[in-house]
Amino acid sequence: MSQADTLYAKPLAKLVDFTFDEKVANVFPDMINRSVPGYANIVAMSGILSAEFFQKNTYCYDLGCSLGASSLSMAKAISEPSLTIIAVDNSQAMLDKAKALLQAEQSALKEASCIDFICADINDICIRNASVVVMNFTLQFIAPEKRFGLLSRIYQGMKKGAILILSEKLMYDKEEQQRLLIDMHHFFKKANGYSALEISQKRQTIENVLLPETLETHKQRLNDIGFKQVEQWFQCVNFSSLIAIK
Ligand X SMILES: C[S@@+](CC[C@H](N)C(=O)[O-])C[C@H]1O[C@@H](n2cnc3c(N)ncnc32)[C@H](O)[C@@H]1O
Query: Which residues 144-183 are close enough to bind ligand X by CB under 6 A?
Result: none
**Smallest distance, Å, CB 154 to ligand X?**
13
123 is a contact residue toward ligand X (CB under 6 A): yes
Q: Please, what is the minimum distance in Å from the beta carbon of residue 141 to ligand X?
A: 4
CB of 169 to ligand X, least distance (A): 9
The total number of residues written for the chain in this structure: 246
Cβ proximity to ligand X, 136 vs 240, nearer residue: 136
d(CA 21, CA 92): 8
| Interaction residues for ligand X, span 16-45 (CB under 6 A) | 20, 32, 43
Residue closer to ligand X, measured from CB, 141 or 172 = 141
HSE toward the beta carbon, residue 22, CA cutoff 13 A: 1
Task: Provide the 10 A C-beta neighbour count for residue 129.
Answer: 13
Report yes or no: 238 and 167 within 8 Å, Cβ to Cβ: no
| DSSP 8-class letter at 170 | B
Q: Quick one: which of 55, 57, 91, 89 has its CA closest to 70? A: 89
Residue whose CB is less far from ligand X, 24 or 114: 24
User: Which is nearer to ligand X, 180 or 203 (by Cβ)?
Assistant: 203
Q: Please, which residue, 176 or 243, has the CB nearer to ligand X?
A: 243
CA–CA separation, 90 vs 3, rounded Å? 22
Q: Judged by CB, which is closer to ligand X: 180, or 182?
A: 182
Distances (CA, A) of 37 to 1, 40, 123, 186: 22, 8, 27, 10
Phi/psi for 112 (5° steps) reads -70, 145
137 contacts ligand X (rule: CB under 6 A) = yes
Shortest reach from residue 13's CB to ligand X, in Å: 25
138 touches ligand X by CB under 6 A: yes
- Touching ligand X, residues 83-122 (CB under 6 A): 88-91, 94, 121-122
DSSP codes, 27-67: HHHHHHHHHSTTHHHHHHHHHHHHHHH--TT-EEEEET-TT
* Binders in 45-74 for ligand X, by CB under 6 A: 64-66, 69-70
Q: What is the closest distance, in whole angstroms, from the C-beta atom of residue 147 to ligand X in the complex?
A: 11
Residues within the interface to ligand X (CB under 6 A): 20, 32, 43, 64-66, 69-70, 88-91, 94, 121-123, 136-138, 141-142
